[in-house]
Amino acid sequence: MTSNSYNPYENAQSQFDRVAKIIGLDEPTRVLLRQPMKEYHFTIPVHMDDGSTKVFNGYRIQHNNARGPAKGGIRFHPQETIDTIRALSMWMTWKCAVVDIPLGGGKGGIICDPRNLTENEQERLCRGWIRQLAKDVGPFIDVPAPDVMTNGKHMLWMLDEFELIHGGRFPGFITGKPVGMGGSLGRTEATGYGLIYTVREALKSQGMRIEDTSASIQGFGNVAQYAAKLYSELGGTVAAVSCWDNTDKKAYTFYKKSGLDIAALFGIVDSFGTIDQNKARDLGCEILPEDAWIEQDVDILMPAALENQITLANVGKISKQVLLIAEGANGPINTEADEIIRKSGMFVIPDFLANAGGVTCSYFEQVQSNMNYYWEKDEVMQKLDAQMTSAFKAVREIAKKNNLYMRDAAYVISINRVAQAVKMRGWV
């Protein structure tokens, strides 16, 4: 799902190698952790509504399960690549480890464009993905969840197919289920809110208050919407958001210096995170080109769309005013741009810490599903805040103590935890 020259797996491996060297990781553990343990590549034939049959390519990658069952989303995207999924599965391992939940890392996907598929075709595709993997995933093996262009409806079709094959009810098999069908209250908000809990803590650590800051956000899908909502409810000014327009095949930035009305934008965005441009103009938004979100004079940038969005081509456009980048998306800054940002002294909350709210809440969902007992939303959000805040503080502490970039400090914690699990199991 990336431009030709960028390989997210190489990015993930080079981030890992850098820290493996800093902590002096032994050779077998280094070799084991710098690649996935298991990969499944398969085909999914789907009977289309017009009577034809189309064959899709599906994937599931389990990077590591030393700390618990693999965990990670399933993406539907026309430009999905195996290396993107490898990288994402690796980041899931570090993500679960940094927030200290007993899960490993996995990721999956199907190369498809759900915008061009009917509901029935999407259902058959979901069921087909499960049929290919039913023996290799499960509540104690590998637990999928929604990701880009997948949602609770897809998860429920997948759960249903899994239960049909295995005979029984296994609500802990998949997370991101709709509320009332085993889903957790708060899961929809969890990643975006979690991102803002870390932003709040980062600002606190710099002696700043959210109320005195402004932000520009790339994307306006699940993560970006709820990040924008909580950030503005806490008093921050969201000056810009952006989104992809699938008709024009390009992205746009929606800008209002005095602050966008986030509640109103919720009313004019579709389920794929595309904002209606005419209605946005009526709300007083200026509509600017794709990269404009990165150029604004704001205090905080939150890339929350896709990987490989801040590169050598646009890193120089970041305003001098920006003091914090909170990575809502996975891998939004590529390796070369990250070098420049690292040297600039800008404070970065790395992706696998900043967006760990989703998987943390997914873990809460699994716990609730397995207990067959459900928590109130306040309880979920309080637990989420506590987990994210404590993870942020632990990373910040290591960064301060060892004079490390926040990304490296987060890796130090995660790699050490996973390496310890691998050793305690006697694998290396």
Where does this chain bind ligand NAD (CB under 6 A)?
Answer: 147-149, 191, 218-224, 242-244, 251, 273-274, 290, 304-306, 328-330, 355, 358
If 0-12 CB within 10 Å is exposed, 13-18 middle and 19+ buried, where does residue 362 land?
buried
3-state secondary structure of 118: coil
| Cβ proximity to ligand NAD, 147 vs 422, nearer residue | 147
For residue 23, the minimal CB distance to ligand NAD (Å) is: 25
Distance CA 347, CA 406 (A): 7
Query: Phi and psi of 324, rounded to 5°?
Result: -140, 135
**What contacts 4, CB < 8 A, 6 or more positions away?**
none
- Identity of the residue, 213 or 309, whose beta carbon is nearer to ligand NAD in the bound complex: 309
Residues 6+ apart with CB under 8 A from 30: 17, 20
Which residue's beta carbon is nearest to the bound ligand NAD?
A: 221
| Closer by beta carbon to ligand NAD, 213 or else 218 | 218
Nearer to ligand NAD, 8 or 58 (CB): 8
Shortest Cβ 274–ligand NAD spacing (Å): 5
Alpha helices in 70-139 (DSSP H): 82-98, 119-133
The residue (of 70 and 224) whose beta carbon lies closer to ligand NAD is: 224
CA distances from 17 to 11, 26, 77, 194, 413 (A): 10, 12, 29, 27, 14
Distance of closest approach, residue 29 Cβ to ligand NAD, in angstroms: 26
Q: Which is closer to ligand NAD, CB of 2 or CB of 369?
A: 2
Out of 21, 38, 95, 107, pick the active-site residue.
107
Helix, strand, coil in percent for the chain, rounding step 5: 45, 20, 35
Burial class, 264, CB count within 10 angstroms (exposed 0-12 / middle 13-18 / buried 19+)? middle
- 3-state SS assignment for residue 62: strand
Closer by beta carbon to ligand NAD, 110 or else 419: 110
**Cα 349 from Cα 173, distance rounded (Å):** 30
Nearer to ligand NAD, 163 or 276 (CB): 276
How many angstroms separate the CA atoms of 278 and 78, rounded? 27
Burial of 325 (0-12, 13-18, 19+ CB in 10 A): buried
Residue 238 C-beta: closest distance to ligand NAD, Å: 14
Q: What whole-number distance in Å separates Cα of residue 62 and Cα of residue 166? A: 21
Q: Smallest gap, in angstroms, from Cβ of residue 41 to ligand NAD?
A: 20
Angstrom CA distances, 199 to 3, 12, 23, 381, stand at 29, 23, 27, 16
Burial of 258 (0-12, 13-18, 19+ CB in 10 A): exposed
Please give the backbone phi and psi of residue 231, each rounded to the nearest 5 degrees, phi first: -60, -45
Query: Shortest Cβ distance from residue 25 to ligand NAD (Å)?
Result: 26
Considering only the C-alpha atoms of the chain, give the largest distance between any 2 of them, rounded to a whole number of Å. 63
Is 393 one of the annotated active-site residues of the chain? Answer: no
User: Would you name the residues annotated as active-site residues?
Assistant: 107
